[in-house]
């Protein structure tokens, strides 16, 4: 299939074509990169927009179960749902998605859903770029909702928050002092805190945990991009399928409000800037990591240490020789 036929198939919502297109953007081979860029340019004009929902939570909190139940609920409402994963640890085991495939079995079988395992790359910057491009491909393929999942470790939540329109933090019922365990930074970027496993013996604890987080969220400054009452905390049971409708209603409320107030587009624009600057920084650093640059850097550092060159001159020479500045 040539590039333009692939573009047409993606636009027609063909899931196999979408999978191939994502494989293309994930490839690190230069000739694939060129084809991927051409494809992305072809599709950019479609102007389709999904609601991008980021979802983060520690291992075992119930992300996969939540995505399965929530995804099926969305599909039952006539929406097409794509699921992508940002998993910085997938290089470690390579196995996590196998578990997910079985846990999301029903969703995976639904014609209106598309599930994509995370690319097995350890470099988070590369994963972020490829995920962004995969999101764009899912939008071009006409998906209404793109769910972007990440396990809550390290910086991957920040990456997903910068990739999504609405960011959900999934938590498990827990005793009072665990509240401090959630980093303040992540509380500040979460649009909704969803306490999962509010069923059976865990229900009372889940309700208490939710109240604790609701209290903590009220202490945060109200954000200009939010309507009254956000960010919110709520309880669900992904297993018993309760509270998921409410999560969706709240997402709709937030998205509708932001669309009307102009914040929806403003946030996406700010994200585009954020990624442009992040990738530029990364590209510049990559140049400085070339063998030639590293040799020059070492030589200049020696000269600097020996007092043979000034700091200003050494800096100017590096910038001139290796960044064309």
User: Is residue 90 involved in binding Mg ion (CB under 5 A)?
Assistant: no
As measured in angstroms, the least distance from the Cβ of 235 to ligand GTP is 10
| Beta strands across the sheet bearing 145-151 | 113-115, 81-86, 145-151, 51-57, 166-171, 192-195, 232-235
User: Are the C-beta atoms of residues 206 and 242 closer than 8 Å to each other?
Assistant: no
Show the site string, 97-136: x = touches Mg ion by CB under 5 A, - = not.
---x------------------------------------
As measured in angstroms, the least distance from the Cβ of 162 to ligand GTP is 21
∠ CA 146-150-153, rounded to 5°: 160
Q: Which residues bind ligand GTP (CB under 6 A)?
A: 57, 59-65, 96, 103, 151, 196-197, 199, 202, 237-239
Q: Which is nearer to ligand GTP, 62 or 231 (CB)?
A: 62
Of 95-103, 169-177, 190-198, 215-223: span binding Mg ion (CB under 5 A): 95-103
Q: Closest residue (Cβ) to Mg ion?
A: 64
Q: Which is nearer to ligand GTP, 24 or 151 (CB)?
A: 151
Q: Closest residue (Cβ) to ligand GTP?
A: 62
Of 96-104, 180-188, 191-199, 307-315: span binding Mg ion (CB under 5 A): 96-104
285 Cβ neighbours under 8 A, 6+ residues apart: none
Interacting partner of 199 out of ligand GTP, Mg ion, none (Cβ under 5 to 8 A depending on kind): ligand GTP
User: Is residue 64 involved in binding Mg ion (CB under 5 A)?
Assistant: yes
Alpha helices in 94-193 (DSSP H): 96-103, 105-109, 124-140, 156-161, 184-189
Q: Which is nearer to ligand GTP, 63 or 263 (CB)?
A: 63
How far is it, in rounded angstroms, from Cα 42 to Cα 40? 5
CA distances in angstroms from 87 to 22, 141, 160, listed in the order given: 16, 23, 10
User: Are the C-beta atoms of residues 145 and 50 closer than 8 Å to each other?
Assistant: yes
Q: Half-sphere exposure of residue 133, counting CA atoms within 13 Å on the CB side? A: 24
What residue ranges bind Mg ion (CB under 5 A)? 63-64, 100
């Amino acid at each position: 299939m040539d590039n333009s036929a692939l573009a047409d198939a993606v636009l027609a919502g063909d899931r196999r074509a979408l999978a191939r297109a994502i494989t293309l953007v994930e490839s690190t081979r230069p000739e694939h990169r060129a084809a991927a860029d051409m494809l992305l340019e072809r599709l950019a004009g479609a102007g389709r927009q999904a609601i991008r929902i980021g979802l983060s939570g520690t291992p075992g909190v119930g992300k996969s179960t939540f995505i399965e139940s929530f995804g099926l609920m969305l599909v039952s409402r006539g929406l097409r749902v794509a699921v992508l994963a940002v998993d910085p640890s997938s290089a470690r085991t390579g196995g996590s998605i196998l578990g997910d495939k079985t846990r999301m079995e029903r969703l995976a079988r639904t014609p209106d859903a598309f599930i994509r395992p995370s690319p097995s790359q350890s470099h988070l910057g590369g994963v972020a770029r490829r995920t962004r491009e995969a999101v764009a491909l899912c939008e071009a393929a006409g998906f209404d909702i793109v769910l972007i999942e990440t396990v809550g470790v390290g910086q991957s939540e920040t990456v997903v928050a910068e990739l999504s329109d609405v960011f959900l933090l999934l938590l498990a019922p827990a005793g009072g002092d665990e509240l401090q365990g959630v980093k303040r930074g992540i509380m500040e970027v979460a649009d909704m805190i969803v306490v999962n496993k509010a069923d059976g013996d865990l229900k009372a604890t889940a309700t208490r945990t939710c109240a604790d987080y609701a209290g903590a969220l009220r202490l945060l400054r109200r954000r200009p991009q939010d309507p009254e009452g956000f960010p919110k905390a709520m309880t669900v049971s992904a297993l018993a399928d309760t509270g998921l409708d409410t999560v969706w209603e709240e997402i709709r409320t937030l998205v509708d409000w932001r669309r009307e107030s102009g914040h929806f587009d403003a946030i996406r624009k700010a994200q585009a800037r954020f990624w442009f600057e992040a990738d530029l920084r990364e590209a510049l650093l990559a140049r400085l990591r070339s063998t030639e640059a590293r040799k020059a850097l070492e030589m200049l550092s020696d000269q600097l240490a020996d007092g043979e060159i000034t700091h200003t001159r050494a800096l100017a020479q590096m910038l001139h020789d290796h960044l064309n500045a």
